[in-house]
Amino acid sequence: MRLSAWFVASCALIFCALQLIDGVKGQRQCSEMDYYYEYTECDSTGSRWRVAIPQNPGACTGLPEPVRGTECTFSCKAGEFLEMSAQECTQCAAGSYSLGSGIRFDQWDSMPAGFSSLATAQEINPHGDDRLTCNSSSWIPQGNYLESNRDECTVSLIYAVHLKKQGSVSFEYQYPDNNLLFEFFIQNDQCQEMDQSAETKWLKLTNHGEWATHTVNLKSGTNILYWRTGGVLMGAKVVKPVLLKNVQIEGVAYTSECFPCKPGTFSQVPGSSTCQPCPRDTYSGHGASSCTPCNTTTQYAAEGSAACKDRPPCSKKDYFQIHTACDHEGKTQVIYKWIEPKICLEGVTGADKLPPSGEREPCPPCNPGFYNNDTATCSPCPAGTYSDGTKPCKQCLAGTEPTLGYEYKWWNVLPANMKTSCFNVGNSKCDNMNGWEVAGDYIQSGAGSSDNDYLILNIHIPGFKLPTSVSSPSGTEFGRVTFEFETLCTADCELYFMMDVNRKSTTVVESWQKTKARQSYTHVMTKNASVSYTWAFQRTNQPSDVRRYVNDVARIYTISVSNAVDGVSSGCRVCALSAQPSSSMCVPCPRGHYVDTNQCTECPKNTYLVPDATPGPDACKPCGPASKSDKDHSLCYSDCHFTHTEGNVTLSYDFSPLGSVGSLMNGPSFTSKGTKYFHQFNISLCGGQDHLAVCTDNVTDLSNTDSQREKGEGANTLKTFICQSTIIPASGRGFHTSLSSQSINLAESFVGASVENTLNGIRARPELYPQTSKKVPDVNFYYKSSEMTSSCETGRSAVVTLRCNPEKSTKGELSVPSQCPAGTCDGCTFHFLWESSGACPTCTERDFHRIEGACKGGHQDLLYVWTEPKLCIGGATLPEKKRVPCEGMEFWIRLGAGLGAFTAILLVSLTCYFWKKNKRLEYKYSRLVMSANKECELPGADSCAVMEGENEGDMEDEVVYTKPSLLGKLKAIASKGNGQKYENMQLNSSHSKALVWS
């Protein structure tokens, strides 16, 4: 039994072995196409091994054995790759290129392998909508470049690379719009952010259409690269996306293959490190070693094209008009030219022909400050002379000096200090095209190569020079640029006005979208620096490679720049002369002085000197109510004191307890995408230049220190009376710091303070705030900004209402109207309410009253208390409690009782006396009545008579008794001593009237 079992097991083992032998015999030997080589990780000694990796595991046998590889730091030169089988550097074939120890990504038809786009989820919307609204936001390949998102979502472009040695990453980008945030940072394999300075992390803005290059060093090991974008607050405005191309990474130690040239480029010789773009009218495919010519009779191709295009029939979009330069006869004419390079066909059906040139006509005059000395060109006037452009240059008279600057109002040729260019979004510069063309009365945008080209007009001013008499600036204005323009558009065109100070970073000063009527705009230069002013016009913001809206144009009629250091003179200005006799030399005036009859005269008290004003007393303007000027007469400000008189009551205010600068951050608010943001307002209430409010934009300039921002230093720092910044917290956006952006100037001048609701055309709106029952009136501080915007043609204004509220702290609380949570209801006038106990008037004696205590022991207390509610602060203080002597109540009771008893006795005596007298009168009266019936037969002592002229028969008997008054009785009593004792009464009857005396 055991023998049979052993036999079965042996047979099974033999059968399995035979099966394994048959399986091995059935597999083929691996060829070079079945595997590829890779290096292992470097060990501690810097060694590594080359191993073969099968393409399909198990498909073949006989893989090469591992062999020792090259050193970990080994790399090939540019134009070579590491041939792994021989482990030697080999030149790239024609039609391909290599960076040696680097990789490059320059083709963006689709997202390259290794790149990913990730949108960060926003914060939960306060309305309860917690849906992810950023799922569709991403970086979008556009062929030659990557385009970022245009919304408020935070989107990261991520690429991970492992470097064998220290290297670098560089890329080209366009970042023209600061409504988008753009940062680049690096993390290691532990998701820890590498140390970077703010300058390498936050990308600087670029000029419209221009590409900038950014390079950052990388450490050996794993580096995760992040390009992160996110909108700030765009509203309804369409923003310019960030564009990215030509990403190149150095330090990968080796590349095992060469990269084929992308379509439209070629490399003609082996060992190339780059591919060249195909010339015009040629094209190439993927991995080309040469370019193929187009049939130029019917086709064309731009530089770097991947295919030829058919030539369209010529139309009005293919030519433009210009004015020729003045000839020796002083004549010019309009001529038409084909846009170069010409891509259209003339001799086909439906094609337009080039219009004939216009008639020769006299040239326009020279611009102010230039003259024409019977030549074909206008020349600038020599130093110290001036001209209006129509007459020869003249010397300024004694006591005057030339005004420097530029004033362009005739456009026959492009001025010498101006440049024009055209930038295509994807290909940098347009082909042989001007951005703007002169047209006699104006200069207008050119055709461009496509509708989304940026058409650029630039003027550079190396600095500013104030007139000699005001060489010590009394204000903050060094010069100003003013231009008159219009836009005519059918698409979403936009005209930008930009400024670049000291060639650091271009910022958009103002922009106008779509059609705008002819209007003027002025920008004031507040620092003496080199500046470039740029006008950029774009017909559409959408990707385009054709000219569809060529009739959409921007026109500029006049451009003037004052106080330009290299400018010309169009006139003379009165200056102050030296005190030396017969001197004709102009001298500077001290700050706050104006020129009057060639003498420096200080502005009167509480007036300010208007910058760029005509010399004379009118150059000093009075400050508004409750304001005073600084010692330099450069601005008006409040000294925190205010007085208001109504009737015979005067209220005095001291607002210094509120502080010189107040801040308000309202919100939070949320955008449609869920982005949380706040509006922060900084308000300077009292004080001059040293107490102005400061706002800083740190989106494009995070390199400024906190101390610089507090002092108002830095290119993106705003220092004024009232300013506003938009604050985006770091949480929920993926960015690593809170961002302050879109700092705007709401008020650079203090108009005055008043309890009235209107001052100099600025209107307060008390109905926006809760009504108060307090008897103390609100005090309104009025501010104004002269900076015009597209929506506020007269500039912005602001009203700060100070309200006495004893329930608030001394510093108080700032708020905005509930109906206008952004601080403004119309976008031009801002309203603020500052409630504080410090806004109450100064206390006086009428604000408290006296309380008298009870008289105890001959003394009483006098206590002083505030009248409630207490609506005052500071000023008069409460008198201390007093104790004064007083008379007791017993004395007054005794005195009252004595007077009462005397009065009672007197009344009883008088009553008895008059009662007795009344009895006697009654007796006499009865006797008179009785004797009246005896026909006037009265007693001897009595007498009776008939009044003369009366009819006795017709008279009725009547007795009238007149009761004497109390005063009469007193007189009668007094007359007893004189023997006069009588009373009178009147008797009337139907028969007679008699006056009886007794």
Residue 680 CB coordination number (10 Å): 18
Query: Residue 946's pLDDT is what?
Result: 43
Separation between Cα atoms, residue 960 and residue 982, nearest integer Å: 16
Residue 518 CB coordination number (10 Å): 11
Percent helix, percent strand, percent coil in the chain, to nearest 5: 10, 40, 50
> Which residues are registered as beta bridge partners of 228?
156, 183
No. of helices (H) and no. of strands (E), the chain:
5, 75
Q: Of the candidates 816, 694, 692, 680, which has an alpha carbon nearest to the alpha carbon of residue 738?
A: 680
> Which residues are registered as beta bridge partners of 362?
331
The phi and psi torsions of 975 (rounded to 5 degrees) equal -90, 0
Taking the CA atoms of 189, 190, 192 and 195 in sequence, report the sign of the dihedral they define: negative
The phi and psi torsions of 923 (rounded to 5 degrees) equal -65, -50
> Can you read off the two tokens belonging to residue 608?
């300010």
The segments of the chain whose pLDDT lies below 50 read 1-25, 124-132, 701-715, 732, 936, 938-962, 967, 970, 977-998
Query: Residue 941's pLDDT is what?
Result: 46
Cβ-contact 646, 672 below 8 angstroms: no
Residue 368 CB coordination number (10 Å): 23
Q: Of the candidates 434, 696, 417, 383, which has an alpha carbon nearest to the alpha carbon of residue 531?
A: 417
459 burial type by CB count under 10 A (0-12 exposed, 13-18 middle, 19+ buried)? buried
Cβ-contact 453, 570 below 8 angstroms: no
Q: Which ranges in the chain are annotated with CATH 2.60.120.200? A: 102-122+136-252, 418-565
If residue 562 lies in a helix (H) or strand (E), which one and from where to where? Answer: strand 553-562
b/e per residue, 481-501, with b = 16+ CB within 10 A? bebbbbbebebebbbbbbbbe
Query: Residue 473's pLDDT is what?
Result: 59
Unique residue bearing structure tokens 């507090």: 710
Taking the CA atoms of 314, 320, 324 and 325 in sequence, report the sign of the dihedral they define: negative
Q: Residue 709, SS3?
A: helix
516 burial type by CB count under 10 A (0-12 exposed, 13-18 middle, 19+ buried)? middle
Largest CA distance in the chain: 202
List Cβ neighbours of 861 (8 Å cut-off, separation of 6 or more). Answer: 852, 853, 881, 882, 883
Cβ-contact 878, 865 below 8 angstroms: yes
> Which residues are registered as beta bridge partners of 851?
863
Separation between Cα atoms, residue 301 and residue 803, nearest integer Å: 72
Separation between Cα atoms, residue 611 and residue 748, nearest integer Å: 13
Tell which CATH classification among 3.60.21.10, 3.10.180.10, 3.20.20.80, 2.70.130.10 matches the domain 641-698+717-840.
Answer: 2.70.130.10
Cβ-contact 547, 451 below 8 angstroms: yes
Separation between Cα atoms, residue 716 and residue 205, nearest integer Å: 12
> Which residues are registered as beta bridge partners of 284?
none
CATH class entry, domain 102-122+136-252: mainly beta
List Cβ neighbours of 213 (8 Å cut-off, separation of 6 or more). Answer: 170, 171, 172
Q: How far is CA 562 from CA 370, 383, 661, in A?
A: 15, 16, 33
> Can you read off the two tokens belonging to residue 732?
């929920």
Order of strands, edge to edge, in the sheet holding 418-424? 428-429, 418-424, 454-461, 531-538, 494-501, 506-513
Q: How far is CA 451 from CA 493, 494, 548, 849, in A?
A: 9, 12, 7, 80
Q: At what angle do helices 966-974 and 889-931 cross, to 10 degrees?
A: 80
Q: Of the candidates 185, 204, 180, which has an alpha carbon nearest to the alpha carbon of residue 195?
A: 185
> Which residues are registered as beta bridge partners of 496?
511, 536
The phi and psi torsions of 779 (rounded to 5 degrees) equal -110, 125
Cβ-contact 765, 715 below 8 angstroms: no
Query: Residue 2's pLDDT is what?
Result: 40
List Cβ neighbours of 852 (8 Å cut-off, separation of 6 or more). Answer: 860, 861, 862, 863
List Cβ neighbours of 73 (8 Å cut-off, separation of 6 or more). Answer: 46, 164, 165, 253
pTM assigned to the model: 0.72
Query: Residue 179's pLDDT is what?
Result: 77
Tell which CATH classification among 3.40.190.10, 3.40.30.10, 1.10.3720.10, 2.60.120.200 matches the domain 418-565.
Answer: 2.60.120.200
List Cβ neighbours of 928 (8 Å cut-off, separation of 6 or more). Answer: 942, 959, 985, 987, 996
